[in-house]
Structures are given as structure tokens and as C-alpha cells.
């Protein structure tokens, strides 16, 4: 629905039978991406068109009057032809590693967003012309007027000039980027406690946003205990870690996020799996498990899993 801040009321509402995965507004129309179809509405909410039986996708992008989809596994990009109601393969080279999102810079170049790095990609020669790592894992981005703005899970915003990016020849002289890998188990790392302390992290994608949390962790042998609580105390209180372990550079946590009221029978279990990719930095995945499962047709939330990042901020 569309909201008017001046009138402080809802001025447009469109009710859909399926969950919305992504949407955009382009050329006075609203394009809504769902599990297996794209619906098109006018800005007044009138149905205009749709394409069904599309590949399951997680992002919809517009560029130069054309509409593109990013496959759910982040490996393929498709183009939609609304006149012929066809789905055309735009880039099907099995992108690796998988993309979280992408955007266009011009007709031949696009920006590929991975979990911890960003590439400027040339679709014609099918090679990267630039690759760099932002100072911190990104949450969302905006591109326009030759610039790119990135916001990070630490609450920072960085702005880059796309037109000022180095040419390919200069990039080839630079040493290749080092990929972050979990620290291997060794005698040195096993003796040093790199987990105990205060961590500031983010559950990416909770309610369509990034939910920031503090984790207070304590390591004893391979067992991890402690608490998790929202950075914004108005959004909830601290919860104890029910079960935790740290072994071979991998952290696994389980937290009961359900109500403390014994009369509430539903259990909501948050599971976090992350790797220690560098000293003081965790990166991985989170997922909710609800028991008993919600009644068919009832929505629990727009997203039940996503990326997890955390940075050590204290002992």
C-alpha cells in the first residue's frame, strides 16, 4: 500500500493472495514479484498485466525500459518480455559465487553484489572490470548520477563515484583479492579464546530490514553460553542462548525467541550458524524454526532466514 505522510493515511491498497518477494515502480506502473509470477498495476492500483510460470526469483530490476529477474539461487539473470509474455535468459553462465542482488550501470555493465564484495561486471566480455570489498558488510544500496551509496549493518553509509573507477589495465596490475575463509583448526587457535566477549551483529532480512543485536558470548571448552538482545531495547529484551558450540572456526547457536508465558504453546527457535572469517568478525546464516508449524494460509513473517554478520566490539 501507498502511504501519504502529509495526510497521515493510506491512499492506495492492493491485496494479493501470495507473499511479495520484491517490487519496483517503473514508468508509472507497479511491478510485483511473487513466487511464480509478476503482476503489473497502475499507480492507482488497477491491474494491467501479468506473466506467470516464471522461474522462482528473489529480485526484480528495471533498466532502460526492460525488466530483469535474479534467480532465487543467485546464479542466473532473466529478461521479461511483457508483449510476448516470455521469459528470456539474459545471463546464464551459472554465476559463482551466488549473487545477493545486482543492478545496471549502463547497457553493457552491471554491478554484482555478493555477501562481502562488489564487482563491476562487463556483460559483453563476461568478466569483472573491478572488484572491491566495502569497509563492512552491506545491507542495501542505491545507484544514480554516476554514484553508488552503500549502507552497512554497523549504521554507516559510503558513497562511491562509479565514473572514477580505475580501468581494467590498472586493475590487472594489482594483486588478486584474498577470499575470506574460516580459520583452520590448529593448536594456536584452539588455545586462544576468540569468541568470548561482546559482539554487535545483524540478522539481515528480518521483516524486510536488518535487525541489529548484541551478543554476549562466553566460551568454555567447545560450549558457548550467553545472551542475545536487540540494540534498540524498545524492540525486546535479552534472551539466553539455549545451546551453543564453537568448533573448527564455526559457531552454532540456538535461542528460544518465544514468549516467556507458559500458557503460550508456540515455540520460536532462532538458529545461527557462522564462521570466524577473520579475527573479530563472524559471517554466516540465521533461520527461524516454529513449532508447531503455523496454520496453512496464516503469515508468520515475510522472511524466515537470511544472512548473519557480527563484529567483536568488546571483551
8 Å CB contact between 68 and 82? no
Strongest mean pLDDT among 44-48, 59-63, 121-125, 225-229: 225-229
Q: What is the pLDDT of residues 153-201, one digit of tens each?
A: 666 788 877 753 444 444 455 556 555 565 555 444 446 788 999 999 9
Write down the mean pLDDT value for the chain: 76
Query: CATH 2.40.128.120 occupies which residues in the chain?
Result: 187-314
Superfamily in which the 2-173 domain is placed by CATH: TolB, C-terminal domain (2.120.10.30)
pLDDT for the residue numbered 227: 94
The ranges of the chain annotated as CATH 2.120.10.30 are: 2-173
pTM value > 0.85 = no
3-state DSSP assignment of residue 258: coil
Alpha-helical (H) ranges within 17-128 are: none
Per-residue model confidence as pLDDT tens digits over 232-291: 887 778 899 999 999 988 999 999 877 666 666 667 788 999 998 888 899 999 888 877
Chosen CATH of 187-314 out of 2.130.10.30, 2.40.128.120, 3.90.1300.10, 3.40.50.620: 2.40.128.120
Kindly state the helix (H) or strand (E) to which residue 168 belongs, with its residue range: helix 168-173
Instruction: Report the C-alpha gap between 16 and 162 in whole angstroms.
Output: 38
Amino acid at each position: 500500500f501507498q502511504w501519504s505522510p502529509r495526510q497521515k493515511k493510506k491512499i492506495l491498497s492492493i491485496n494479493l493472495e501470495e507473499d511479495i518477494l520484491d517490487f519496483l515502480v517503473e514508468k508509472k506502473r507497479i511491478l510485483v514479484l511473487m513466487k511464480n509470477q509478476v503482476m503489473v498495476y497502475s499507480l492507482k492500483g488497477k491491474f494491467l498485466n501479468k506473466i506467470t510460470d516464471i522461474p522462482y526469483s528473489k529480485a526484480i530490476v528495471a533498466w532502460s525500459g526492460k525488466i530483469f529477474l535474479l534467480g532465487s539461487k543467485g546464479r542466473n539473470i532473466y529478461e521479461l518480455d511483457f508483449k510476448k509474455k516470455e521469459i528470456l535468459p539474459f545471463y546464464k553462465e551459472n554465476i559463482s559465487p551466488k549473487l545477493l542482488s545486482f543492478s545496471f550501470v549502463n547497457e553493457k555493465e552491471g554491478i554484482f553484489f555478493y555477501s562481502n564484495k562488489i564487482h563491476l561486471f562487463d556483460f559483453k566480455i563476461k568478466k569483472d572490470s573491478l572488484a572491491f570489498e566495502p569497509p563492512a558488510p552491506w545491507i542495501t544500496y542505491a545507484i544514480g548520477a554516476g554514484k553508488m551509496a552503500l549502507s552497512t549493518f554497523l549504521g554507516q553509509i559510503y558513497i562511491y563515484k562509479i565514473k572514477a573507477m580505475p580501468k581494467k589495465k590498472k586493475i590487472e596490475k594489482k594483486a588478486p583479492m584474498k577470499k575470506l575463509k574460516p580459520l583452520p583448526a590448529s593448536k594456536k587457535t584452539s588455545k586462544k579464546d576468540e569468541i568470548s566477549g561482546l559482539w554487535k551483529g545483524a540478522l539481515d532480512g528480518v521483516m524486510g530490514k536488518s535487525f541489529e543485536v548484541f551478543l554476549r558470548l562466553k566460551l568454555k571448552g567447545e560450549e558457548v553460553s550467553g545472551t542475545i538482545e536487540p540494540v534498540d531495547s524498545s524492540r525486546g529484551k535479552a534472551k539466553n542462548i539455549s545451546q551453543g558450540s564453537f568448533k573448527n572456526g564455526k559457531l552454532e547457536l540456538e535461542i528460544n525467541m518465544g514468549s516467556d508465558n507458559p500458557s503460550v504453546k508456540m515455540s520460536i527457535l532462532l538458529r545461527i550458524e557462522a564462521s570466524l572469517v577473520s579475527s573479530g568478525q563472524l559471517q554466516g546464516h540465521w533461520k527461524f524454526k516454529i513449532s508447531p508449524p503455523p496454520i496453512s494460509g496464516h503469515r508468520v513473517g515475510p522472511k524466515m532466514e537470511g544472512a548473519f554478520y557480527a563484529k567483536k566490539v568488546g571483551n
